[in-house]
Amino acid sequence: MKNYKTEQEEFWAGQFGDEYILRNNEKKIIASNIVMFSKILSRTQNVTSILEFGSNIGLNLHALSNLLPNVELSAIEINSNAVKELKKIDNLKIYHQSILDFTTDYQRDFSLIKGVLIHINPDELQNVYEKIYTSSKKYICLVEYYNPTPVEIPYRNHEGKLFKRDFAGEMMDIYSDLELIDYGFTYHRDPVFPQGDATWFLMKKSF
């Protein structure tokens, strides 16, 4: 196995990441994603390219391609088995690597990260914020567990693997040209389109 910089990278590249694929390979997740992303994309204009950080098997990308059939999609993914599933998606540009190793090759209209920042080593967050920011030409979307102050919580009996905080607020504090366009909450008890209890934030670069 490759030597990674953080224990969190090894965690998701290995067996736990493989097990995550099996737990989350459900079509109903795509349906819920379509509903959520339709709200988010309704606040955007002229999105022709999207880069997702930490795509796993592409459940978000499937939803986005349904909403924007002609969009150019790209994915960064660390887990080898997840990449095998991503390769089944037509015309998808795949970066099989850790987010921490990714270097932006060109900017997309829309940079997305969903349920991934919570699993990044806190010491590397500013590094990841910079990658998300520089990869975006226009819009940035974060969908993560929110907490007003940084806190660590146990994750499936593992320590040091899940951290909640105000990720969007921290990014806007660092990058003064980021403007909050909209935000919303997804609820696990939604009777029709449930999602994890996450908060989404749509930001735009102001010029």
Roughly what angle, to the nearest 10 degrees, separates helices 125-135 and 167-174? 70
Q: What mean pLDDT value characterizes the chain?
A: 93
Dist CA 11 CA 158 (whole Å): 10
The mean pLDDT value for 69-77 works out to 97
Q: Is the pLDDT of residue 1 over 60?
A: no
Domain boundaries, the chain: 7-205
The mean pLDDT value for 142-168 works out to 93
The mean pLDDT value for 168-175 works out to 98
Q: Which of 154, 45, 57, 48 is nearest to 114 (CA)?
A: 57
Q: Which of 79, 81, 38, 80 is nearest to 60 (CA)?
A: 38
- Report pLDDT for 17: 66
- Please give the single-letter amino acid code of residue 113: I
Confidence of residue 161 (pLDDT cuts 50, 70, 90): confident
Q: Is the pLDDT of residue 104 over 80?
A: yes
Q: Whole-model pTM?
A: 0.92
pLDDT digits (tens, 9 = 90+) for 17-29: 677 766 665 778 8
Length of the chain in terms of residues written: 207
Q: How far is CA 171 from the centre of its chain?
A: 15
The mean pLDDT value for 87-91 works out to 94
- Report pLDDT for 24: 66
- Report pLDDT for 60: 96
Confidence of residue 3 (pLDDT cuts 50, 70, 90): confident
The mean pLDDT value for 91-106 works out to 96
Neighbouring-strand partners of residue 204: 139, 179
Give me 162's structure tokens: 């899940």
Lowest mean per-residue pLDDT among 2-6, 36-40, 94-98, 185-189: 2-6
- Quick one: 7-205 is in which CATH superfamily? Vaccinia Virus protein VP39 (3.40.50.150)
